[in-house]
Copies of this chain bind each other. A is one copy, B any other.
Amino acid sequence: MTHVFDEATAVEQVSPGVFRAHTHPAYNNMVGPFGGITAATVVTALQHHPQAQGDPLSMTLNYAAPIAEGAWEIAVTVLRTNRTNQHFTFLISQNDGPVASGTAVFGTRRDTWSDTEYDFPSVGAPEDYAEQEFPEFIAWPRNYEKRFVEGGLNDITGPQPSSTTTLWLRDRPGRDLDYPALASIADAFFPRVFLRRGTYLPAGTISLTTYFHATAAELAEQGDDYLLGTASAARFGHGHFDQYGQVWGRAGTLLATTHQLVYYKDPQG
């Protein structure tokens, strides 16, 4: 049986470097698909490119317009292949109009001196925190088991002093972690402005950048276990905020860091 994530991120090469994908109702957001599933589909397409070498190191995806229900295309260009890394650009279109664009770098990982300098957040075990669900009208979070340590959905009852969310999460049903899944999870934090304003607001990612620190061996070690995500915003203003986030493996490995710029509309001004 195919996992719903694999159904949603499936791509088919329809001409050299051009891949067709389809929106999947299970990953719908309020308007259009969840940005994380689009990012995951892009990673899948890049990995399927016949010239792809190495594993994802970084990806930036700019969301220019909502993707409508149905088929969409991603056109991948291999810009340059160096000895240890490979640069891609890509354009996402639907009905011949551009809806998103971005760049990515794949690379080979050499053994070097290494250290994770940031600390693993001080949290209890996943089982110490109750599961929480998003409101019924948002589909995509149902594909993740979410156990909030702080800044959960139950706190969206009034303005909060902190935009930080920290949670344990994993695919539901379980699925072994890979780069597309990590790309999706890096965008699985709800908009930080919900916490600060204490209410749901129109908000959407404009630009998402994720750095994949995980090696293939670290992904394999993680398997389908819980991941720890944490995210916060530095500045809100003039209709935009940034979000900086980290995704850690259960064993304390920093698998990804991510940064995004988000649009919001605040009816109270």
Contact = CB atoms under 8 A, between A and B. Distances in A.
A211 B105 contact: no
B215 A62 contact: no
B259 A235 contact: no
Given A112-B264, A117-B233, A209 B239 contact: no
Contact of A211 (B103, B117, B261): B261
A211 B64 contact: no
B103 A101 contact: yes
Nearest to A85: B206
A118 interface: yes
Contacts of A268: 113
A84 interface: yes
B113 A266 contact: yes
A245 to B, nearest CB: 10
A206 B114 contact: no
Contact of A238 (B110, B209, B264, B269): B110
- Most-contacted residue by chain B among A60, A114, A268 (CB, 10 A): A60
Contacts of A65: 80, 82
A107 to B, nearest CB: 7
A163 B65 CA distance: 38
B113 A261 contact: no
B112 A211 contact: no
Given A209-B209, A240-B57, A269 B234 contact: no
Interface string A99-139: 10111010101111111111000000000000000000000
Given A64-B79, A117-B233, A237-B213, A87 B58 contact: no
Contacts of A196: 115, 117
A261 B58 contact: yes
Nearest to A213: B235
Given A113-B197, A209-B209, A80 B60 contact: no
Contact of A114 (B107, B110, B238): B238
23 contacts: A58-B62, A58-B207, A58-B261, A60-B103, A60-B207, A79-B91, A87-B98, A105-B206, A105-B207, A109-B238, A110-B238, A111-B238, A111-B269, A112-B266, A116-B237, A117-B234, A118-B234, A118-B235, A207-B211, A211-B242, A211-B259, A213-B242, A234-B246
